[in-house]
Structure 1
Amino acid sequence: MSAQFIEKYRENAEIYTGSDICKQKSKELLLEINMPNGLLPMDDIEEVGYNRSTGFVWLTQKKPIQHRFTKIGKQVSYDTHVTAFVENRKMKKLHGVKAKEILIWITLNEICIDDPSSGKITFGTPTGISRIYPISAFEVEEDEKK
């Protein structure tokens, strides 16, 4: 998803810049939509935007990163622009996130929690294939909170 697409949603959006506030706002957003707080483990975020009227969210970072979710043994790649349309317990039309399956990178386009009581989160691909994992694998302890 290009920066040009982000420009379409900037008007009326809440926009934050700077690594520390962006990291905080990305976690707050995840909590607000009832998603695990460790789902977007991006460190060097330059900008976070949230257009509440459309549900469009974007995160921009200096360079792509890879993160290993150790509890499930999965490597995930986050591009310089990560975008999605969000609603309660759901991220749709997700762009900029890929998961490694054996030797290939698979694009993810949806993340949702259909039934919170199940303790499961589903990751979908554009081909309709999905994987289900425990929500706890994407939660981060908040020991850094002051």
Structure 2
Amino acid sequence: MASQAIESQREGAEVYAGAEICKKKSMELLEEMHLPRGLLPLAELEEVGYNRATGFVWLRQKRAITHAFKRIGRTVSYAAEVTAYVEDRRMKRMTGVKSRELLIWITISDMYIDDPDAKRITFKTPTGIGRSFPVSAFEEEEAAPAPAPAPAPAPAAANNK
């Protein structure tokens, strides 16, 4: 169903292909919408599209992935195709995003920041049930620093007797 929505929105949309440019454009989109940059941690993006006239966005990746947001103790699943309608501080009518709650996966349909001063982001299900978390939990996670190289062994002292 997401593919049909994408195809119907393609005309007049900005479409980007290739992992590097897609990652960059997805980050730019989040910044433009005043949403945290770590909200969509999709590493293997193949296509990103944005129809500015309708606010429709899609992200296609090689395969579905799960990501653990360690700061809030939640695991989120992202389908191979993620779609949403975006506006300032909001993504609505989302598809392809689920959060694990206890033993079941819950579909996420909306996410928004009502009051930027409160620094809270709210996620809602299609039934209207919602939960808020600190925005800081979704800031882009920096890559772990590379371990420092081990010191070179000291040269053995020569025995000159």
State the TM-score bracket (shorter-chain normalisation).
Answer: over 0.9
Deviation at 1:5, TM superposition (A): 1.3
Question: 2:98 is matched with which residue?
Answer: 98
The letter of the residue matching 1:116 is: P
Give secondary structure in 1 for the equivalent of 2:9.
coil
Cross-structure match for 1:66: 66
Q: Which runs of 4+ in 1 moved over 6 A?
A: none
Q: Specify the alignment match of 1:89 in structure 2.
A: 89
Amino acid at match of 1:32: E
Alpha-carbon deviations, 1:11-67, whole Å to 9, x = none? Answer: 110000000110111010000000000000000000000000000000001100000
Aligned amino acid, residue 22 of structure 2: C
**Contact 2:123/2:132 (8 A) holds in 1:** yes
| Paired residue type of 1:7 | E
CA distance in 1 between partners of 2:29 and 2:80 (Å): 19
Q: Which residue does the alignment assign to 2:148? A: none
The residue identity in structure 2 corresponding to 1:104 is I
C-alpha distance in structure 2 between counterparts of 1:95 and 1:126, whole Å: 10
- Paired position in structure 2 for 1:118: 118
For normalisation by structure 1, the TM-score amounts to 0.95
| 2:68–2:74 contact (8 Å) kept in structure 1 | yes
- 1:1-146 paired onto structure 2 within 5 Å: 1-140=1-140
SS in structure 1 at match of 2:117: helix
> Percent of aligned pairs with the same residue?
59
Distance 1:34 1:103 in 2: 32
1:116 aligned counterpart, secondary structure = coil
Query: Secondary structure of the equivalent of 2:72?
Result: coil
Amino acid of the residue matched to residue 4 of structure 1?
Q
Structure showing greater radius of gyration is 2
Q: Which amino acid aligns with 2:112?
A: C
Q: CA deviation at 1:2?
A: 2.3
CA drift at 1:142: 6.1
The one-letter code sitting in structure 2 at the alignment partner of 1:41 is: P
AA matched with 1:27: M
Query: 1:126 is aligned with what amino acid?
Result: P
Instruction: Tell whether the 8 Å contact from 2:2 to 2:95 is kept in structure 1 after alignment.
Output: no
